[in-house]
Structure 1
């Protein structure tokens, strides 16, 4: 029997209704509750000197192990290479990518620190599952420290086209480190095919089915789209907090149709283009202006990175200009909110919304689209407007799909959604909901771990309890 060890840049302990957390945090909580294991990563806190001290905790059945990082680590590894080099490049924004040698050095140093720290916690039969672009070289660093366990890597963002990735200094060396893993996962066939193209075209690798061979290493590369914990989210939609949020939104709408967008404040989410599309709708549908409003929830992120400061200022300017041009004494077209909310509250907001605008310019998956569908009233569901460039679009063709760069397409989609008859809304929703329930987070986890396990290997099943005595002895739990 094997444990599942998840390693990611940040670790978020499961929270109750009082705290908001992202879709990935919820996904791992759901997965780790089923298996005795550890979720390891950065705490998000700073330290004057890196010591490798691990802080253990156990909350809601999930054991976490975290470390603190120095200011230089955070600036070079996280703000630098991860979010000013890899993130824009992998989201097709080479114009925003910054290539600094110090960033790359910090990225490598922190991956080495992660490997050195987690290595003593890993038992011989554990399955290791490394997450996302922050930790691409981690598998190679663990192998260098003698680890022979089965290891998998999952990329939660797009994999860029071959010619785009070739602009990254030392891209060949970075991609080669992925061959330390046994399984590599992507959300879509498009990202998987782009990876294969780079490995075969730039490195001379060979592809046979799911297997990719490079020199003396062979990895299995699969498309494995992540889902949500559908049952849990449906329950959250019926919670007191969700019902209260629903009533508040309905009361404040005063009979108008609400359009909702919920996105982390990021240039990849297409928020400026979304505002432009909504503005086009207001300009071309004068009869509908005061019948709708857009609620855009955009909690800020990566505030230390200048690019994110600029987009916040740009959106504040657009919201102010659109409201100034179209608002009336009793109506404001855009409600722009820069804060996060607990998931039950968001579930109530989703349920109250006639339309969800999920229009990223490029997205690995996008779980907001799936959460919106799961929150709907089956007897009166809303309409999902979804970018063709979100990974979720391949699983959700029944949504109203749009090109987010086209203000006209977004405007037309809003008009279509507002006039869509109930029978069509129910038909689209039912097809979407079937997919959300069928390919949920448990399906995602099982598909990946089944590919990762050696023949005859099984995962250790956790007992359904919340005892704290599973925290390793000598830890700093609390």
Structure 2
């Protein structure tokens, strides 16, 4: 029976060194809570670092055995590995780049090599416990290479990856020297999860620009796999925080805190020591608030908890010194013998103490400069059972996309934070409760268990899509079926698109002329007396005439405006009008004038706006704008709009490849029909053909076609095999 293996940098239980011995201690955190239910099922296991370097082999064996009883598998790292992999590459390259602080990055080659080595070490340990059909869920930025490493040795495994910190824009991500390797590692997963849609968008942008990956919305094509990229905003164990608020130790501590801060409003700030948390800007904003609002002196206290983190690292030590100076400055400037504006605590607290603080805080001030989600904001909301309290939240925190009833601020703007503090302190009770009630409903619905369930369900759905996709991909079995049908048939129709099907795309449309290999292949197909070969294209008839003059193929140009049979003249479809072209041409040319690389191609009864040479996102943006502007003309003149591959075309609605195909079918009967195309215009052909026809889309499986091929060159391979199989049809 298949199982799920959770993989993270840290185990949900850590080994604590106490003097000359070690003990096991549960890890606090949303991830451990969220994955507890999945970990508890069947034979599921969890692999990760236990949080301490243990060199002694006997001690390693002892803890491995002890953790095994809890279905936890420790990966032991030595000091050199911790320094290079975790403290080095993970936190000196990935953390600052992903939090938009590139000047803090240290691109040390030896740290990168250690990062690769430790990811490989994780892979090797997983392989000792994983079966080919297992599900493996990898977590966070320390293990970006791991999905790709696993995919190479477990090609059929279900592999999910979730990123718990932000993903940067591609302009920042590409600063990393090893950006391609990191992306290829992540793309080994079947499903990639992020906290927000912005992170999804940034990842797709990087993947499509820095690798050969193509995308259709949030669906990526990686080798022969479909990979989905989705936002899954992480929640918390909201019931636990709500229940903590009613426990006796917490209630006792609440009473103590209220007695200590009688007649004062408490502004709560809880962060780990990190330059991404916006702590200094928050203090500067509080300083400004006190300076401009002396009426609140002795009536408000900023209760600030900073949890120690890496304070031996110079940059973090400098940050702590800066915080210390700011706190000292504010308390010295505004404080009195019976009041300190900032109550500052530099250490961690158990969850019971945190719960008490959530309950006494009138305001929770959460203003990170960049944060994947920020669970403190959700914990505060879940703890407020009486629906009082105000949340001030940075617009750059992932939680701001959900907790829209908070007071949203720009963390860089101390004046904005000052205004939010004044607003929060003066907020009417009715408005406060209305906002908090709305946020609590959301936090309780989208809790951490809901997050984990959604991800696992989507991973299963992704594998089902992949399975369906594989069934339609023209692999060895389907290819043989097509060849067998072709050989048995005595009357065959071959409908072949040109650009993107018989030849690859060129930036210059006039350079996509047929090569000698293509001429030989088409000649060989046409030489079979049982074949009727038709090239059905959006190209101008004059272009097809130049390329195929004297060749015995049937030609359909401009999607059916012009048709030509061998040894005959071109025939124009009757009843078409061009009265609209001048007006529409002016509009399309105006878009070409402000889009470098774009140009307008005029055909007999259509206009095409090409953007093959345009910068990727700019071309797509302009194309969508143009389509919106063309809709009025389409309705007024009875025209059809086509959003093709790097082209927007407008033409008479009376003309399309489907209608041209029906004309061909009306004239003859065939016992084998093969249609291959890559574009939106070819969908009309696929839909016009009878159900028994063999229809193939090039490049994507999202189509009315029965089958698909990944690449244009695969088309020639298939056609070559049809030629090679050319034997007399079997007599029935």
TM-score by length of 2: 0.59
Whole-Å Cα distance in 1 between the matches of residues 119 and 281 of structure 2? Answer: 36
Whole-Å Cα distance in 1 between the matches of residues 65 and 203 of structure 2? Answer: 36
Give yes or no for the alignment of 1:410 onto 2:417.
Answer: yes
Please give the per-residue CA displacement for 1:177-235, whole angstroms capped at 9, x wherever unaligned. Answer: 11211100000000000111112223242222431113444311111000001112211
Structure showing greater radius of gyration is 2
Give yes or no for the alignment of 1:315 onto 2:323.
Answer: yes
Secondary structure of the residue aligned to 1:447 is helix
Change (3 A) 1:392 1:293: same
Alignment of structure 1 residues 458-469 onto 2, 5 Å: none
Whole-Å Cα distance in 2 between the matches of residues 426 and 292 of structure 1? Answer: 21
Secondary structure of the residue aligned to 1:44 is coil
Give yes or no for the alignment of 1:46 onto 2:53.
Answer: yes
Q: 1:356 aligns with which of 335, 359, 364?
A: 364
Deviation at 1:98, TM superposition (A): 0.7
Find the counterpart in structure 1 of residue 214 from structure 2. Answer: 206
Q: 1:228 aligns with which of 219, 233, 236?
A: 236
Alignment of structure 1 residues 247-266 onto 2, 5 Å: 247-266=255-274
Deviation at 1:247, TM superposition (A): 1.4
Give yes or no for the alignment of 1:4 onto 2:12.
Answer: no
Whole-Å Cα distance in 2 between the matches of residues 10 and 20 of structure 1? Answer: 9
Whole-Å Cα distance in 1 between the matches of residues 268 and 233 of structure 2? Answer: 24
Q: 2:450 aligns with which of 443, 458, 465?
A: 443
Contact 1:79 1:304 in 2 (8 A): no
Secondary structure of the residue aligned to 2:34 is helix
Whole-Å Cα distance in 2 between the matches of residues 33 and 248 of structure 1? Answer: 38
Change (3 A) 1:29 1:244: farther
Whole-Å Cα distance in 2 between the matches of residues 2 and 422 of structure 1? Answer: 53
Whole-Å Cα distance in 2 between the matches of residues 83 and 14 of structure 1? Answer: 20
Change (3 A) 1:71 1:6: same
Secondary structure of the residue aligned to 2:307 is coil
Once the two structures are overlaid, the 10-residue window that deviates more, 362-371 or 147-156, is 147-156
Give yes or no for the alignment of 1:82 onto 2:79.
Answer: no
Give yes or no for the alignment of 1:130 onto 2:174.
Answer: no
Whole-Å Cα distance in 2 between the matches of residues 56 and 131 of structure 1? Answer: 24
Find the counterpart in structure 2 of residue 467 from structure 1. Answer: none
Deviation at 1:341, TM superposition (A): 1.3
Please give the per-residue CA displacement for 1:25-79, whole angstroms capped at 9, x wherever unaligned. Answer: 33233543456522210111113489996725569x9632212211110110000
Deviation at 1:12, TM superposition (A): 2.7
Find the counterpart in structure 1 of residue 279 from structure 2. Answer: 271
Please give the per-residue CA displacement for 1:376-427, whole angstroms capped at 9, x wherever unaligned. Answer: 1325x11000000000000010000000111111111111001001100110
Secondary structure of the residue aligned to 1:329 is coil
Alignment of structure 1 residues 6-405 onto 2, 5 Å: 6-13=6-13, 21-33=28-40, 36-48=43-55, 55=64, 57=66, 63-146=71-154, 148-378=156-386, 381-405=388-412
Whole-Å Cα distance in 2 between the matches of residues 384 and 30 of structure 1? Answer: 30
Secondary structure of the residue aligned to 1:282 is helix
Please give the per-residue CA displacement for 1:149-178, whole angstroms capped at 9, x wherever unaligned. Answer: 100000011110111111100211211111
Q: 1:432 aligns with which of 423, 434, 439?
A: 439
Change (3 A) 1:201 1:124: closer
Once the two structures are overlaid, the 10-residue window that deviates more, 140-149 or 426-435, is 140-149
Where structure 1 has 5 or more consecutive residues not aligned to the other structure, the ranges are: 457-478
Deviation at 1:305, TM superposition (A): 2.7
Please give the per-residue CA displacement for 1:412-458, whole angstroms capped at 9, x wherever unaligned. Answer: 111100100110011000100011011111111011101112449xx
Deviation at 1:302, TM superposition (A): 2.3
Once the two structures are overlaid, the 10-residue window that deviates more, 391-400 or 21-30, is 21-30
Once the two structures are overlaid, the 10-residue window that deviates more, 393-402 or 3-12, is 3-12
Contact 2:162 2:192 in 1 (8 A): yes
Whole-Å Cα distance in 2 between the matches of residues 296 and 328 of structure 1? Answer: 18
Once the two structures are overlaid, the 10-residue window that deviates more, 39-48 or 80-89, is 39-48
Contact 1:256 1:293 in 2 (8 A): yes
Contact 1:79 1:305 in 2 (8 A): no
Contact 2:302 2:341 in 1 (8 A): yes
Give the length in aligned residue pairs: 453
Find the counterpart in structure 1 of residue 459 from structure 2. Answer: 452
Q: CA RMSD in A?
A: 2.3
Deviation at 1:24, TM superposition (A): 2.7
Contact 2:14 2:27 in 1 (8 A): no
Secondary structure of the residue aligned to 1:267 is coil
Contact 1:11 1:42 in 2 (8 A): yes
RCO higher in structure (CA 8 A, sep ≥6): 1
Whole-Å Cα distance in 2 between the matches of residues 37 and 269 of structure 1? Answer: 35
